[in-house]
Structure 1
Amino acid sequence: MPGVRQSHVKVRTGCQQCKQRRIKCDERRPAPCANCVRSKKECTGYPPPPRSARSSEEVKIAPKPLVAMAPSAPPPNREPVQLPPRRLAKMQRRASPPGALITPTTPLAATSLVYHPSIDLPFSHQEGQYFHLFREHTANELSGFFDSAFWTRSVLQECHTADAIRHAVVALGALYKTLEKSNESPTNSPHPDSDPGDSAMRHWEMAVKQYSHACNALTNAGATASTSNRTRLMSSVLLACFDSFVGDHKQAIRQIQTGLALLEKLRAEKRQAFLSSSDEPVEEELTQMFTRLAIQAKSYDMAFHFPQPWVVQLTTNQPPLDPSSPTSEAGSPIGISQDSIPERFTSVMEARLAWDKLCERIFRFTEIMFNYAKSNIMGVLPTSLKHYGVSFKKDIEAWSDAFEHILASRTAPGVSSQEKAAIAVLKMFQTMGKILFLMTFSDSEMHFDGFAHLFKGIVDLALEVVGDEERRAAAKRCPDPALCRHRNHCRTDIFGGHEYAAHHIKPSFSADLGIVPPLYVVATKCREPHIRRQAIQLLRSSARREGMWDSELTARIGTWIAEIEEEDVNLFEGGYGNTIPTPDASPVQTHSRPPTVADTPQSIAHSDLEQGNWENGASPAASSTRTSFSSHSGQPQKLIPIPEEKRVMVRAVEFDLRTRSAVIQLGSRNIKTGTPDLKTKVTRINW
């Protein structure tokens, strides 16, 4: 009816100024919103998020655990938490001078590491507890599989001078406590002896309140000298970490974009001042953090194909390169220094830094390559970029050769469990990077079959990491296996026909990437059924969120793709079954329709850079059958490849980790934008 206002859901977020004016805010926290800037009004900051969730509701800040603790479990231990031995050793190494001998200690020694906040830190008693928790536990968890002085030293030091950093640290400590409490007992089943003030909801409320204070501290500071560029960059890292933790990936990308823009601005100012281009405007530690955040955001975009403005750009908007002058600065696809790969890495950290730099160069190159693809016929690249692509393959192989002795040493006596895991994870990333980069030059999903041995290598390394973590967790949580209450709902496994499940690993969050992205690639691109199912089960074996990567979401995407591709297909001679372990979830509705999401093509094909030229041996498409071992019988069977017409790829994923829902669109590889795709399938999943 004319004159009737359309109903809308009332928005309760946004800055204070926009709420008073009753207009929609773009919520560019911590930056002032566009409305305030445009109307030249003072943006007074953002209020804390509303306490819309009741105490009986679930705080969804991590992947859903595979198995919840039984209701009959005893009440949680209220005694002080002792650091695990590997965390204790890690902190002792940092506290000791270089070359000092570390004497092994018992877990009881952890009680001597009690930290008392400095008197000049304006904490309330409750805030001080969260700060203490961050220092003792959260900083180490955020580091992931690699040591990081950024979290355990630099951030803590900055708390003394920067209000925004101090509030962000308290927020992350409270968030870590929320995750811990939300997994102590089943939802809606509080123990009668529990403290209402120690509930997940109370910690959650403190977390979002402190997050809001951190945003407002930056907003209110404006462009004054009271907030240094170093503080702003560090705040972007911490706020992006918080947003990833709670599942708000769009806001995390905003924070990363804000930090990268500031870093590029500072670099431009140094260039204009005729300073050395090798000198960074901030310390190397912060530059490394933003390199990893950029890699994380780009990997997310490449996997799920976000639309603008949720795409992180590493290259500046400049006219197309001149292929006739590839050596000039304007024609170079990479805007950063290119360090050569040594013959042998001297440490895991040296290898990690070299891989980060190589990844950033590859991502910069692919950005420019896709810009060419938009204005050229699909599958045709300038000759200069084809040759440059070959140089990346040489660098990837050189890195692998330099890392080989470290990879072989991971099982040697004296190598800590954390270092062993870091070595395995780093090799997983190098293997994944090699596969994805080489396949950037292919227009056929069939060519992924040539990497079956590399897919298996990723799964084997991930099994090492998860297996070691499960054994440590089982020894800590259930020292007497006869009294273990964590073995409910066991699944028959496909790891050699034996039962395998990580029953004791708790849900976790890390700011750094780990096993989830490589296993996602295996789950979606490997068509060998056993390897693919192993990757899916490893993703579901422990509830992980690594940066913006969620293990449960990736496992369910891999499961659905396998169902689509293997439907009505006998994978083995003799009709071996294609059953996929399907997670407990609401029904999946699948339908086909013309594509509605236009995204950047993922692959660029050309005639003279086929897969056979990258790898030794024939092109995988030339082989009609392969050999695989059935985990049920242990006997070799001929594996019949999934035909090209059945294979699909992810075209777009729209999801909300906070509500645990996603809309996934699949389609063909190498379809020109605007061309109808007959393979398009769309589904919505909830978990």
Structure 2
Amino acid sequence: MNNNSMRENSLSQAAMPSSDPSQRPRRVRTSRPKVKTGCNNCKKRRIKCDERRPECTNCVRSRKECTGYPPPPRPRIFEEVRIAPKPGTSAAQTIQPREPLRPLVRPPPTPTTAVRLTPPSTPVATASLTVYRPATSLPFDPQEGLYFQLFREHTANELSGFFDTAFWTRCVLQECHSEAAIRYSVVALGALYKTLEKMTESPPGSPSEFFDPADQVNRHWEVAFKHYSLAINAVVKDPSSSRSAQRTRLMASVLLACFDSFIGDHKPAIKQIQTGLQLLETVRAERRRAFLPSPEEPVEQELIQMFTRLAIQAKSYDMAFHFPHPYVVRLTPQSSEYPASPSSEGGSPTSTNQSQIPEVFDTLHEARLAWDTLCEKIMRFTETMFTFVTMNPMGVLPASLQKYGSGFREQVQAWTKAFEPILASRTAPSKSSQEKTAIAVLKMNQIMGTILFSMTYSDNEMAFDAFLPRFQEIVGLATEVIGDEERRAAARRCPNPHFCPHQSAPPDQFANQYTARHIKASFSADLGIVPPLFVVATKCRDRIVRRQAIQLLRTSSRREGMWDSELAAHIGYWIMTIEEGDDNNDGHNYASPESQSHSSPILGDDAPLGPGGNARWGSRRESTQTTPPNHSDNKTIPEEKRVMVRAVEFDLRRHRATLQCGTRGLIPGMPDLRTRTTTFTW
């Protein structure tokens, strides 16, 4: 037998299984984490589900109807995480953020080895953190580069809201090349955005085919707070008074205020805005004292616009919730000598855009700049007037001063007329979804500003009834915005409506099946729909319109700057229960909207939620037949039952609020029989 034959015999014997059982290799079960995202049938049968869409393999083989997959828990904005070190300590120290006080979504445990996860339930577009190649001109390490890319591609657009702005997409990114404070702030916001994205996955924890230990909620959360602290330290450690250093501090104030608003910490956000406004006023005063022939703005127009919008946002927040000192935002210098009339230049100008309102606005951007300028001038005017009035009701100026604001009424009317062609054009097929939404949002805020300015001289809540058509217009525009957003989100996340896992969620009893289930939690630094809807929910006494506003506030977890939709919805609902309740209901026994067992006839099944009816709620017709008790008619609420918000102390991180309401028109210090106080959590 030659060598080749002997080799073949030995190989064939080695390949044959051994007859001795003790020598056979023992099979070991592969250790993998439990997966809880299978379909309902497989979970009941306790078998492995491959999560195929629209039907899993097990259901097809057993000839069962695949009933779908459980929806993810509804996420919310983040809780407080205290950080170290405090400003002034070494920025090189490792910062370990404390665990959140009450986690909103429990993050999955971090496995020690990479494992294969289930596929995502919907083809959502998530930002990748694996393809970034840092530019040589940016001093980023690989991890920071990933978050910078995320900010550039996604976060900047989210922060811009419904309006395009060069501040987020150009100015901030350019400063990252040279300023450490801006660079750290951008990384912090990018990591925070990634945290929100991970918390809103469907199903949670399965954004990709393979598990990445670094792509975890807690990891992004820690990075965000570490770089937030580094950004504060970088600002504190730069005492220079040069023009570039002042510009950096102004820009850092905007970014850090957005970070604080993002996590629901409104007091530090107000402090950041106050610091920025004081610095901007100081720089402007220095340039005026330099006796320049035409003292131009110390920073570019985009940064001035950002501070204008943040100032308007913070001032409206203060006017709605009546914060105590030192969280009161002032737009005018303390040394004002006389109230500025519409035709004067009292105080420092908002921006270099001081042109007259045209007959017709050429672009939406022009209309937005004109309204920002006018709105900020009105706020400065009323703020200054209040400094000259003593012993007057909260938020009310004497009627004798109304003549000084007549010039603003003319300017508001001119703006409204110039904006009409743009408002009518939003139904045109050529308009993009973002532009259509921006037009509606701008009009909503203009209506809100007009109502509040008109009511500054009225001490009677009954006067709000004259604005019912305006309240209805706000609700109609908000319905367009949310309806179009829900339609786009449903088409993106659930292309096949017959196999939509989000429809299996329990019905929203207060909203009567009209909840926008596909819209994820969102944050933007710009104005939106929450402030106007809050005004409708608290000031409109029409039972149907008010309920529509509260419903729209609760359709998604939405935070626009410091305005939180869920807090606004709860405040509006509490005011409604006091004013529409029985005489023996003192408002102390507060029941949140989620605890109600009845539905409200808010919108019909065929109610269009977009221009031309291009978006509708996905609802059932039979759910609209239920009428809640005590709301079959729309009787006028008498003046003696109407109240206004007098103080709100809240913590968005713990989801807890204490509200106080009372009578409009009472001078501070007088006894108020309508005072009501409640504390609630959500």
TM-score range, shorter chain: 0.7 to 0.9
Q: Indicate yes or no: 2:562 matched with 1:567.
A: no
The aligned residue for residue 369 of structure 2 is: 353
Distance 2:342 2:473 in 1: 36
The aligned residue for residue 510 of structure 1 is: 524
Q: Indicate yes or no: 2:220 matched with 1:210.
A: no
Contact 1:45 1:219 in 2 (8 A): no
Q: Indicate yes or no: 2:160 matched with 1:143.
A: yes
The aligned residue for residue 104 of structure 2 is: 58
Alignment of 1:665-684 (within 5 A): 665-684=660-679
Alignment of 1:593-604 (within 5 A): none
Q: Indicate yes or no: 2:178 matched with 1:161.
A: yes
Deviations 1:316-339 (CA, angstroms, capped at 9, x unpaired): 11265289x99877xx47855753
Contact 2:444 2:474 in 1 (8 A): yes
Distance 1:451 1:659 in 2: 35
2:324 maps to amino acid = P
The aligned residue for residue 544 of structure 1 is: 558
The aligned residue for residue 653 of structure 2 is: 658
Distance 1:569 1:452 in 2: 25
Contact 1:44 1:219 in 2 (8 A): no
The aligned residue for residue 292 of structure 1 is: 309
1:442 maps to amino acid = S
Q: Deviation of residue 464 (structure 1)? A: 0.4
- Which of the numbers 407, 410, 416 marks the counterpart of 1:394? 410
Match of 1:683, SS state, is: strand
Match of 2:650, SS state, is: strand
Alignment of 1:177-216 (within 5 A): 177-184=194-201, 194-216=211-233
Match of 1:228, SS state, is: helix
Rg (Cα) greater in structure: 2
Classify 1:290/1:263 alpha carbon distance in 2 versus 1 (closer, same or farther; 3 Å): same
Q: Indicate yes or no: 2:290 matched with 1:280.
A: no
Deviations 1:511-560 (CA, angstroms, capped at 9, x unpaired): 10100000000011001011101111101101100000000000000011
Deviations 1:128-147 (CA, angstroms, capped at 9, x unpaired): 11111111100001100000
Q: Indicate yes or no: 2:482 matched with 1:466.
A: yes
Alignment of 1:239-388 (within 5 A): 239-276=256-293, 279-318=296-335, 321=338, 332=346, 338-374=354-390, 381=398, 385-388=401-404
Q: Deviation of residue 374 (structure 1)? A: 2.2
Q: Which consecutive residues of structure 1, in runs of 5 or more, have no partner in the other structure? A: 1-10, 17-26, 33-42, 62-72, 84-110, 571-579, 588-630
Classify 1:328/1:416 alpha carbon distance in 2 versus 1 (closer, same or farther; 3 Å): closer
Higher mean Cα deviation, 247-256 or 73-82?
73-82
The aligned residue for residue 584 of structure 1 is: 594
Distance 2:133 2:209 in 1: 32
Distance 1:368 1:529 in 2: 36
Contact 1:320 1:372 in 2 (8 A): no
Higher mean Cα deviation, 187-196 or 451-460?
187-196
Distance 1:227 1:328 in 2: 31
Contact 2:523 2:560 in 1 (8 A): yes
1:483 maps to amino acid = F
Contact 1:523 1:535 in 2 (8 A): yes
2:658 maps to amino acid = V
Give the structure-2-normalised TM-score. Answer: 0.75
Distance 1:316 1:54 in 2: 39
Deviations 1:449-473 (CA, angstroms, capped at 9, x unpaired): 1111100000000000000000100
Classify 1:46/1:120 alpha carbon distance in 2 versus 1 (closer, same or farther; 3 Å): closer
Distance 1:197 1:115 in 2: 15
- Which of the numbers 482, 486, 493 marks the counterpart of 2:498? 482
1:518 maps to amino acid = P
Distance 2:196 2:343 in 1: 51
Aligned length: 556
Contact 2:392 2:667 in 1 (8 A): no
Contact 1:516 1:539 in 2 (8 A): yes
The aligned residue for residue 528 of structure 1 is: 542
1:344 maps to amino acid = V
Contact 1:492 1:499 in 2 (8 A): yes
Distance 2:105 2:434 in 1: 29
2:677 maps to amino acid = V
Q: Which consecutive residues of structure 2, in runs of 5 or more, have no partner in the other structure? A: 1-79, 108-116, 585-589, 598-623
Deviations 1:257-299 (CA, angstroms, capped at 9, x unpaired): 1111111011001110112566211111110000000001001
The aligned residue for residue 111 of structure 2 is: none
Distance 1:454 1:46 in 2: 54
The aligned residue for residue 33 of structure 2 is: none
- Which of the numbers 198, 203, 221 marks the counterpart of 2:238? 221
Distance 1:127 1:79 in 2: 27
Q: Indicate yes or no: 2:254 matched with 1:237.
A: yes
Classify 1:176/1:255 alpha carbon distance in 2 versus 1 (closer, same or farther; 3 Å): same
Q: Deviation of residue 386 (structure 1)? A: 2.5
2:104 maps to amino acid = E
Match of 2:502, SS state, is: coil
- Which of the numbers 557, 563, 567 marks the counterpart of 2:571? 557
Classify 1:60/1:381 alpha carbon distance in 2 versus 1 (closer, same or farther; 3 Å): farther
Higher mean Cα deviation, 466-475 or 387-396?
387-396
Q: Deviation of residue 308 (structure 1)? A: 0.8
The aligned residue for residue 134 of structure 2 is: 117
Match of 2:237, SS state, is: helix
Contact 1:586 1:685 in 2 (8 A): no
1:641 maps to amino acid = T
Give the structure-1-normalised TM-score. Answer: 0.74
Classify 1:212/1:236 alpha carbon distance in 2 versus 1 (closer, same or farther; 3 Å): same
- Which of the numbers 630, 634, 642 marks the counterpart of 2:637? 642
Q: Deviation of residue 121 (structure 1)? A: 1.2
Contact 2:122 2:202 in 1 (8 A): no
Classify 1:334/1:80 alpha carbon distance in 2 versus 1 (closer, same or farther; 3 Å): closer
The aligned residue for residue 170 of structure 1 is: 187
2:361 maps to amino acid = F
2:97 maps to amino acid = R
Q: Deviation of residue 391 (structure 1)? A: 1.1
The aligned residue for residue 500 of structure 1 is: 514
Classify 1:585/1:374 alpha carbon distance in 2 versus 1 (closer, same or farther; 3 Å): farther
Distance 2:336 2:100 in 1: 53
Contact 1:55 1:201 in 2 (8 A): no
Classify 1:220/1:400 alpha carbon distance in 2 versus 1 (closer, same or farther; 3 Å): same
Contact 2:440 2:477 in 1 (8 A): yes
Contact 2:650 2:656 in 1 (8 A): yes
Contact 1:58 1:187 in 2 (8 A): no
Contact 1:463 1:538 in 2 (8 A): yes
Distance 1:409 1:283 in 2: 31
Contact 2:184 2:231 in 1 (8 A): yes
Deviations 1:617-645 (CA, angstroms, capped at 9, x unpaired): xxxxxxxxxxxxxx8599x9863210111
Match of 1:670, SS state, is: coil
Distance 1:525 1:659 in 2: 27
Classify 1:451/1:46 alpha carbon distance in 2 versus 1 (closer, same or farther; 3 Å): farther
Classify 1:327/1:398 alpha carbon distance in 2 versus 1 (closer, same or farther; 3 Å): closer
Distance 2:222 2:638 in 1: 52
Contact 2:510 2:596 in 1 (8 A): no
Contact 1:292 1:356 in 2 (8 A): yes
Distance 1:633 1:254 in 2: 47
